[in-house]
């Protein structure tokens, strides 16, 4: 029996899947501790239910995913509204350094995945799905980039990417904290002065100010939504210009750049951007987009790539741990802040920015010493700067593979 869901029914099921996942996450401490997203939990449960039906021949589902791309583009558009050049400049050299070393790691993750995939005779694009697409990118980027990999021959790429991203979320939470703890204790960072007074310092604690949460007027919600739609509209023109170059990029790239341009232009012109309202819509769009993507996973495609996938992921865990311990720590200052940032780096490079924030919170709580620099720098780099880098580097790697260069 084949159950065919139309457009409305597919969105309806996506919402139900998210709500189910949300209820489970709230009741299972392990899932909440490691920041496993609710749509991932609910989506995987439904996809396993779908797997049972397909394998037994009892039932299967087909979906109309026409609205999924709208939710995806809208979500990434809201990320663009976070890319304030004024804030990035205020962060100083620390942001630039962390961004560069994160971009280098993104390349390493892809090269490792491509190498192992080729060694097993698999499409190298599958290796990328278990590389930066799923790890540095997380579940959201997996759902955005993996379908493009599948269109170019990487069968099962979406399932591989979502599986890798989920694995990364757990490992990001497990490994990041011990890295910082080892660095702090080995180098006796708690006994050092907090900073070198001979160097100019940035007051990160003054920059990272939490805004008071207030009720949001309905008119402001409307304006936030309209600004998202306007950016998406201009984004289609940017995407069209990119297509004319012959390069292949995800549909959201134009929207994210359009949003960034609108934000920074508005700051100069004194036009209000409804940031908080846009963040609310961003969370909504992401949850529905992920739920619809993950509930439609074809898990049965994992069987034939299980062994190489395990090798790739174990290698990624080790490579990233060594990189965070030996490279990131030294590059960002060799002090207490650097150790905390190393934990944050591992958190978002293996999982997601919420993982990074949770790991850093655990570290500073354990040592009872704050790190404003880490808490300002890490979310800016992991939260949106790397989204820009991924759009360029991942698609550059894919195009090089398709052209036989890489």
For the chain, what are the domain ranges? 2-191+218-402
pLDDT for residue 195: 45
Considering only CA atoms, which of 395, 294, 314 is closest in space to residue 44? Answer: 294
At residue 348's C-alpha, the angle toward residues 366 and 214, to 5°, is 75
CB 71 within 8 A of CB 255: no
Task: Provide the token pair at 388.
Answer: 């820009």
pLDDT for residue 214: 59
- CA 109, CA 114: separation in Å to the nearest integer? 9
pLDDT in tens, 326-379: 999 999 999 999 999 999 999 999 978 877 888 888 889 888 898 888 888 988
pLDDT for residue 193: 53
Confidence of residue 197 (pLDDT cuts 50, 70, 90): very low
Report, in angstroms and rounded to the nearest whole number, the Rg of the chain calculated over CA atoms: 21
CA 241 from centre of chain: 26
Residue 70 above 60 pLDDT? yes
pLDDT for residue 286: 87
CB 187 within 8 A of CB 336: no
pLDDT for residue 200: 53
Contacts of 264 (CB under 8 A, 6+ apart): 83, 84, 85, 86
Weakest-pLDDT range from 76-85, 212-221, 349-358: 212-221
- CA 325, CA 377: separation in Å to the nearest integer? 18
pLDDT greater at residue 208 or residue 230: 230
pLDDT for residue 234: 95
Residue 318 above 90 pLDDT? yes
Residue 107 above 70 pLDDT? yes
pLDDT for residue 279: 87
pLDDT greater at residue 297 or residue 50: 50
Task: Provide the token pair at 317.
Answer: 């865990």
Q: Report whether CATH 1.20.1530 matches the domain 2-191+218-402.
A: yes
Average confidence (pLDDT) over 273-283: 91
Contacts of 37 (CB under 8 A, 6+ apart): 21, 25, 139, 169, 287, 290, 352
pLDDT for residue 243: 82
Average pLDDT, the chain: 88
pLDDT greater at residue 252 or residue 394: 394
pLDDT for residue 209: 46
pLDDT for residue 355: 79
Weakest-pLDDT range from 38-52, 165-179, 199-213: 199-213
Considering only CA atoms, which of 217, 260, 345 is closest in space to residue 76? Answer: 260
pLDDT in tens, 148-187: 999 999 999 999 999 999 899 888 888 988 999 999 999 9
């Amino acid at each position: 029996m084949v159950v065919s869901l139309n457009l409305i029914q597919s969105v309806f099921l996506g919402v139900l899947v998210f709500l189910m996942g949300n209820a489970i996450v709230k009741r299972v401490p392990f899932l909440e501790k490691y920041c496993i997203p609710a749509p991932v939990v609910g989506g995987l449960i439904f996809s396993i239910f779908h797997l049972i039906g397909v394998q037994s021949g009892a039932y299967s589902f087909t979906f109309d995913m026409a609205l999924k791309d709208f939710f995806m583009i809208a979500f990434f558009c809201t990320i663009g509204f976070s890319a304030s050049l004024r804030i990035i400049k205020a962060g100083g050299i620390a942001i630039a350094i962390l961004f560069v070393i994160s971009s280098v790691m993104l390349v390493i993750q892809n090269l490792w995945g491509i190498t192992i995939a080729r060694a097993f005779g698999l499409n190298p694009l599958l290796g990328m799905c278990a590389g930066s697409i799923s790890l540095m990118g997380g579940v959201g980027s997996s759902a955005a980039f993996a379908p493009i990999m599948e269109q170019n021959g990487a069968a099962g790429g979406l399932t591989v990417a979502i599986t890798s991203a989920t694995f990364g979320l757990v490992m990001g939470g497990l490994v990041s904290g011990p890295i910082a703890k080892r660095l702090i204790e080995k180098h006796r960072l708690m006994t050092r002065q907090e900073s070198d007074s001979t160097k100019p310092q940035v007051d990160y604690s003054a920059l990272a100010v939490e805004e008071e949460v207030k009720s949001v007027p309905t008119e402001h919600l409307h304006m936030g939504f309209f600004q998202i739609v306007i950016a998406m509209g201009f984004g289609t023109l940017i995407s069209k210009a990119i297509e004319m170059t012959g390069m292949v990029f995800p549909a959201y790239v134009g929207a994210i750049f359009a949003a960034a341009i609108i934000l920074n232009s508005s700051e100069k012109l004194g036009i209000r951007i409804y940031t908080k309202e846009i963040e609310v819509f961003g969370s909504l769009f992401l949850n529905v987009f992920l739920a619809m993507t993950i509930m439609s996973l074809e898990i049965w495609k994992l069987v034939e790539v299980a062994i190489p996938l395990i090798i790739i992921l174990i290698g990624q865990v080790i490579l990233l741990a060594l990189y965070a311990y030996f490279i990131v720590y030294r590059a960002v200052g060799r002090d207490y802040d650097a150790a905390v940032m190393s934990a944050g780096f591992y958190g978002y490079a293996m999982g997601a920015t919420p993982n990074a924030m949770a790991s850093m919170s655990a570290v500073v709580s354990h040592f009872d010493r704050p790190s404003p620099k880490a808490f300002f720098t890490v979310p800016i780099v992991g939260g949106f700067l790397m989204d820009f880098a991924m759009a360029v580097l991942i698609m550059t790697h894919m195009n090089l593979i398709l052209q036989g260069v890489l």
